[in-house]
Amino acid sequence: MMNLPHFTIKNRFQKRPDLYQDILTPHILADVCQRITGEIEYTCTFDNSGYNKGRMAVLQYRGGVSYISFSDTESAGRNASMQSVPSALMSYYEEMRPQKQIYFYFLPSTGNHETSYFYFMYRLMLTAGVKFLNHNDFLTQPLHPFNSVEDVISARNINRERNQSNNSSYVTKSNNHVIQIFGKTYGANKYETTLFCIAFSQISTSKIELYQICEQDLKAIPQRCSNVINSLGNVKIIQTDLVMERNNFERNDSLRSPRYIYNLLARLGAKKCALCGCEIPEIIQGAHIWPVAAIKREAGITLEQKLKYATDGSNGIWLCENHHKMLDEDIITIDVSGNVRCRADMKGANKVFIDWSTTTKKLAPEIMTASFKTYLKKRYILSA
């Protein structure tokens, strides 16, 4: 008996009355055991203390340890199903024994395992080093890890277009080859950003910056997550809260605000110049419509309100460095209908260059929201 594979499973759910032993039947455990060890015989301990974080079983055999994260049997929304995987991944990272593996196992369920969001997450898990035990029985399409961060960004963007409200964390690139992840620190998001960090550290040697966008009274990422992230080596966690942003706002006219970038990513999607369509993230910047310096000069509003305007995702568009400069120099202007105009004194070759490089003559309707128009009026000091 000593040599049989042995499962240890926390038996209780955090928020449900039923037990893991009701779901992880002998038939299922034998299948898991065989796929991992080749053995069908196993022993199992259901542990009734605490509750099961990570929807997970631990299997020990011949000095090795396997963490198995199970899919949700109640086909709940996207968050419930995917929340547990990063938690299991963290247990795996905290495991000190060198012979370790992490797996994902699909349980029978009535839900749809094959939404575009789920496929995105499976690929991210695979990239992070999670092995799938029985996906061929549940998925009709093949599963491939991501090869590069660009791969992730474009897949994320396609996924975003299908469901606008899906995203809570965003990935982009900055100059100097830095990969930036922007995430909020509440709920499932903190685990999702951890999964991003682990996946990226596997496929990229670039510097990765994780910007934690903290809400006023919410704590930063849990210590457990930050320990794992720090152990990856090439990921730097950067906290940003309103106090820090306010100090920065008071000191500088050209605001470098992670919160502003986060809000632009949430509103506009991936970096893409609104005037020429350039998508090279290293040279795309967030361009304020109502400039920071003008907001700071505005009389009769509080500092908090000013900071809100300065970091509002509606107060900006993505522009390449050329078009950002042209906008700031008023070489190009945008009217309240979204028409893009070239300054009247631009002549000859310069006018030709601007007309040629500015392929968008009218901003897309989804950019032209009411609040965006309000900022345009502020910029060009038009009365409503």
Closer CB to Zn ion, residue 7 or residue 372?
372
Residues that bind Zn ion in the complex, under the rule CB under 5 A: 273, 275-276, 278, 320, 323
Burial of 277 (0-12, 13-18, 19+ CB in 10 A): exposed
Cα torsion angle, 15, 18, 20, 23, sign: negative
CB of 317 to Zn ion, least distance (A): 10
Q: Which helix (H) or strand (E) holds 287?
A: strand 284-288
Tell me the C-alpha distance between 99 and 96, whole Å: 9
Q: Which residues contact 49 (CB under 8 A, 6 or more apart)?
A: 10
CB of 135 to Zn ion, least distance (A): 42
- Beta bridge partner(s), residue 61: 64
Nearest to 205 by CA among 236, 234, 173, 171: 234
Distances in Å between the alpha carbon of 126 and those of 43, 58, 156, 158, 345?
Answer: 28, 19, 15, 19, 56
Nearest to 69 by CA among 119, 27, 107: 107
Tell me the C-alpha distance between 17 and 122, whole Å: 28
Nearest to 235 by CA among 289, 273, 193: 193
Helix (H, G, I), strand (E, B) or coil at 246: helix
CB of 267 to Zn ion, least distance (A): 18
CB of 328 to Zn ion, least distance (A): 13
Closer CB to Zn ion, residue 271 or residue 323?
323
CB of 276 to Zn ion, least distance (A): 3
CB of 274 to Zn ion, least distance (A): 8
CB of 373 to Zn ion, least distance (A): 21
**CB neighbourhood size of 331 (10 A):** 17
CB of 324 to Zn ion, least distance (A): 8
Q: Torsion-angle region of residue 298: left (phi > 0), alpha (psi -120 to 50) or beta?
A: beta
- Using an 8 Å Cβ cutoff, are 332 and 323 in contact? yes
Closer CB to Zn ion, residue 173 or residue 259?
173
Closer CB to Zn ion, residue 198 or residue 275?
275
CB of 284 to Zn ion, least distance (A): 8
Burial of 348 (0-12, 13-18, 19+ CB in 10 A): exposed
Closer CB to Zn ion, residue 137 or residue 329?
329
CB of 255 to Zn ion, least distance (A): 21
Cα torsion angle, 366, 372, 373, 379, sign: negative
Nearest to 266 by CA among 202, 204, 213, 199: 213
Q: How many residues does the chain have?
A: 384
